[in-house]
Structure 1
């Protein structure tokens, strides 16, 4: 799925400062916190205000700069006005030199004015009739790890995102006759989302409903005017069953509420996951798959550019578990490409992307289940999720976790299934 532009204008100078703080995780910047105050136009298509991004320098050396990812700017670069630091050719990277280096273990912050307008196209960041959608619209911190700063581009299919879990405090103020579903829980006009990798919202005259799953998760639906009530009820029922099932399998859903936004005019995708917030086509929506992404991408994160199979294959496999689909004999044998290939490879082999990363990736996991046994596989996934809860995983992490429950060496298994 392709991302669309964010019209972002820095209306005031960037303020930079460092303040003491403690702790951190392996990747830097770490322990991010976003404080966002936005005011929307009456129709909800345009939002402007101020965003502050706090972070801890979790590396061992001083941090002299950070980078922000502006994923919505990936298209129509020449039409976008962005005034913050240096803008890369793909318009999704902004370098922010810090006024003074932030020492290891210390806390820093950047603050800037931001304006964004949903482009007129029925996309996850776009608008369709009176409805606007803001997926991947907020600027977010880029990640630096042992491989350096990760500033990889969007390649036009799938997702290329890489973020660490963060806390968001967002106030979305508007005067129009619209409702604004979003990531997080809203109390007295302020939305709080803890330990999420992004923050998304929509705006428009949605019809709303809600129900609570037997496991205690509130599932809210937000439907555009042409979505049939039966489609809303079906999506809500399937989401409630899935969120409870996956909670039992992988660890309880931690966000309290799950928002489903249904529209029947999407043209380039049928579902898109954000933390606690899912965009769905109204007919034939992949509800269970997108709910599975709350764990595989959301709770257990990964570098989606380098390792797209670590979320897509796992979400597909989780869907199979929920549906009772064992996919016996689905592994095709020797493949000309590894399912663990990065998005740079799939950019040049787009026709194979879905089959390899989603389908064959899930087939690998089914074969692993048959190799380890059903109980061992269930134990593996539950422990793997718990160990990396709110973290970021690599293929090595999963291979190590699998080996820990296997009585035999799995080297040949990985080799035969295209995992180096």
Structure 2
């Protein structure tokens, strides 16, 4: 991963292993959209380095857009594995350690007829988790886990994207990254998302220098747009002061009032929001907690959702006194396989109890120590991948109190 030089100044206890391979990925994508913006076809080139200690015989792509129905994302080349969200590409020759290579393939993405993060809503199409991305292989092997139907099950490493989106329709196409000379460039992001349609656009710049653009469907009111934009501007600068400056120059908010399956969904520099009533601050917080400080969202969903919820509370001055319910029958650290089978408990444990645990930790070690902890933790893992053990180590390094009993009683031992 790029920017890992920041780790050199971190205490050794804060370090976590970089995912084994593929490393330092980059994506070059050329897509042409249909006149209505619903179908995009073209070619994608993925470059990567074998950062493992042994030859790499194959790679896998994740086609997350097929998680709720095969056929929405079609890739030429490779072979399908156990389901249509995984595409295996055997390499002509095993890639030696330290060597870099590229593969290219054709790709077509058609927004499904559903009002979802990858879907169609009236004249508007949304391409969240639509672009194929590299699967990750770490010490546990290749991560090819399925989407369980709730939350997020994604796991990617930071990468550079250069995407050309060409179309002939009368469309606005907001996307991750910044447009320059016809190419949208996004550096060190975990995914690339976009939308297409006749959006109404406005923009403002935060005092900290971040441009916030809104892209609204026509039935979203002007007051709702202004409210969402103002909340995002304030949150970006506040989180930048707390956890490290937002690394990009732009954040796009895409507002629609017709989504029924979710209220907000975060992508790097690009957020889908229900309007009115959108959880703007929470989704902006995800730009740090998952976007910058990454995690395996299938294995450790609490490491981004609990942190984004806690960050929202802190921004709003809500200390959640008394929210911890006591000993829990189930640990908040369960993976998405468990929560997929216990969906009714997912939000309560991962979001609410997870953030309550962080508030309890703050009350134990003190607010100044908690502030220093999160700032140092973000800096040490900037554009990296964290684990529960990494956070426990970081918290212990920031506190003079032995936290062993705290972790046991709060479900994160």
Smaller-chain TM-score bracket:
over 0.9
Residues 347-393 of structure 1, C-alpha deviation per residue, up to 9 Å, x if partnerless?
11100000000000000000000011000000000000000000000
Equivalent position SS for 1:254: coil
| Alpha-carbon shift at residue 84 of structure 1 (Å) | 3.1
Listed as ranges, the matches of 1:171-190 within 5 Å are 171-190=164-183
Q: CA deviation at 1:101?
A: 1.1
Alignment counterpart, residue 228 of structure 1, candidates 204, 221, 225 = 221
CA distance in 2, matches of 1:317, 1:407: 22
Q: 2:242 aligns with which of 230, 234, 249?
A: 249
Q: 1:35 to 1:80 in 2, by over 3 A?
A: closer
- Following TM superposition, the consecutive aligned residue runs of length 4 or more in structure 1 with deviations greater than 4 angstroms are 23-26, 78-83
Are residue 85 (structure 1) and residue 78 (structure 2) matched? yes
Q: 1:368 aligns with which of 358, 361, 370?
A: 361
Secondary structure at the aligned position of 1:77 is classed as: coil
Q: Partners of 1:25 and 1:58 in 2: how far apart?
A: 9
Query: Which of these residues, 373, 396, 402, is aligned with residue 409 of structure 1?
Result: 402
Task: Note the C-alpha offset of 1:83.
Answer: 4.5
**For residues 75 and 328 of structure 1, what CA distance do their matches in structure 2 show?**
39
Q: Cα distance 1:223–1:79, how it changes in 2: closer, same or farther (>3 A)?
A: closer
Q: Partner of 1:325: helix, strand, or coil?
A: coil
Distance 1:282 1:241 in 2: 18
Match of 1:283?
276
Instruction: Confirm or deny: 8 A CA contact 1:25 1:31 kept in the other structure.
Output: no
Q: Which residue of 1 aligns with 2:328?
A: 335
Q: What residue is the counterpart of 1:54 in the other structure?
A: 47
Shift of 1:290: 0.0
Alignment of 1:315-330 (within 5 A): 315-330=308-323
Verify: 1:274 aligned to 2:259, yes or no. Answer: no
SS in 2 for 1:153: coil
| 2:392 aligned with 1:399 | yes
Are residue 168 (structure 1) and residue 161 (structure 2) matched? yes
State the alpha-carbon separation in 1 of the partners of residues 51 and 69 from structure 2: 35
Aligned residue in 2 for 1:382: 375
Q: Evaluate the alpha carbon distance shift between residue 81 and residue 277 of structure 1 in structure 2; reply closer, same or farther with a 3 A threshold.
A: closer
Which residue, out of 277, 292, 307, partners 2:300? 307
The 3 A distance-change label for structure 1 pair 224 and 369 is same
CA distance in 1, matches of 2:161, 2:72: 29
SS in 1 for 2:372: helix
1:406 CA displacement = 1.2
Q: Give the Å deviation of 1:188.
A: 1.6
Q: Provide structure 2 residue ranges, at least 5 long, that are not aligned to the other structure.
A: 6-16
Give the Cα separation in 1 of the matches to 2:346 and 2:295: 18
2:11 corresponds in structure 1 to none
Equivalent residue number for residue 185 of structure 2: 192
Question: CA separation in 2, counterparts of 1:345 and 1:236?
Answer: 36
> What is the CA deviation profile of residues 190-217 of structure 1, one whole-angstrom value per residue up to 9, with x for unaligned ones?
1100000000000000000100001110
SS at match of 2:29: strand
Q: Does 1:41 align with 2:28?
A: no
What residue number does 1:133 align with? 126
- 1:351 matched to 2:344: yes
- C-alpha distance in structure 2 between counterparts of 1:166 and 1:83, whole Å: 22
Give the aligned partner of residue 136 of structure 2. 143
DSSP 3-state at the match of 2:104:
strand
User: What secondary structure is seen at the aligned counterpart in 1 of 2:261?
Assistant: coil
**Greater relative contact order, per chain length (Cα 8 Å cut-off, separation 6+):** 2
Normalized against structure 2, the TM-score is what?
0.95
| 8 Å contact from structure 2 (residues 72, 110) kept in 1 | no
